[in-house]
């Protein structure tokens, strides 16, 4: 193997490992954050007279996870760009290539802008995503209302 090809494989391996390490961390942190969110309802009820404290808790529950999600998206992009640049030059293990194809499938834009107008890229897919999001919101509200009763 040439030194150049080895160097390119090392670059890809490093990018992939960086992504996988962050993804593993993110998934664990998301589960932990979900548990914290379950306690939020009780927190609000206990602190109903302290708007500042509630606002601070909302910030704490959302700011870091949003930043982590953005970081993961950036690492996905980095992995995709690296893969696209090197896939014809290096040998990417089949299992990793499958993971990357799955990321590609799930990272398409929701909207595109044409002549200054916003258009949905895949309305059927977007409809499914909206329905799932509404269901999650409904579940959260239902749980909140149930817990606030007693």
**What pLDDT shows up at residue 1?**
65
Q: Are residues 60 and 119 in the same domain?
A: no
Dihedrals φ, ψ of 48, to 5°? -55, -25
Q: Are residues 46 and 98 in the same domain?
A: yes
Average pLDDT over residues 42-61: 88
The pTM (predicted TM-score) of the whole model is 0.70
Q: Which two tokens stand for residue 14?
A: 């490093």
* Closest to 67 measured CA to CA, from 26, 15, 37: 26
Q: Tell how far CA 111 is from the center of its chain.
A: 18
Report the domain count for the chain: 2
Average pLDDT over residues 144-148: 72
Q: Are residues 100 and 133 in the same domain?
A: no
Q: Are residues 17 and 68 in the same domain?
A: yes
Note whether 100 and 80 are within 8 A (CB). Answer: yes
* Closest to 129 measured CA to CA, from 108, 146, 147, 114: 108
Dihedrals φ, ψ of 121, to 5°? -75, -45
104-137 as b/e, with b when 16 or more CB fall inside 10 Å? eeeeeeeeeeeeeeeeeeeeeeeeeeeeeeeeee
Lowest mean pLDDT among 10-14, 25-29, 86-90, 129-133: 129-133
Q: Are residues 64 and 45 in the same domain?
A: yes
pLDDT > 80? residue 22: yes
Q: What is the domain range of residue 14? A: 3-107
Q: Are residues 93 and 136 in the same domain?
A: no
Q: Are residues 114 and 77 in the same domain?
A: no
């Amino acid at each position: 193997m040439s030194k150049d090809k080895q160097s390119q494989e090392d670059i890809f391996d490093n990018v992939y490992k960086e992504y996988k390490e962050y993804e593993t961390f993110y998934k664990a942190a998301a589960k932990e954050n979900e548990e914290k969110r379950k306690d939020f309802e009780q927190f609000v009820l206990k602190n109903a007279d302290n708007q500042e404290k509630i606002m601070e808790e909302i910030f704490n529950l959302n700011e870091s996870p949003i930043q982590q999600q953005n970081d993961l998206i950036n690492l996905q992009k980095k992995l995709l760009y690296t893969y696209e640049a090197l896939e014809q030059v290096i040998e990417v293990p089949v299992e990793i290539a499958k993971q990357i194809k799955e990321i590609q499938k799930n990272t398409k834009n929701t909207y595109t802008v044409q002549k200054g107008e916003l258009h949905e890229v895949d309305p059927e897919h977007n409809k499914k995503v909206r329905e799932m999001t509404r269901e999650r919101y409904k579940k959260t509200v239902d749980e909140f209302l149930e817990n606030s009763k007693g």
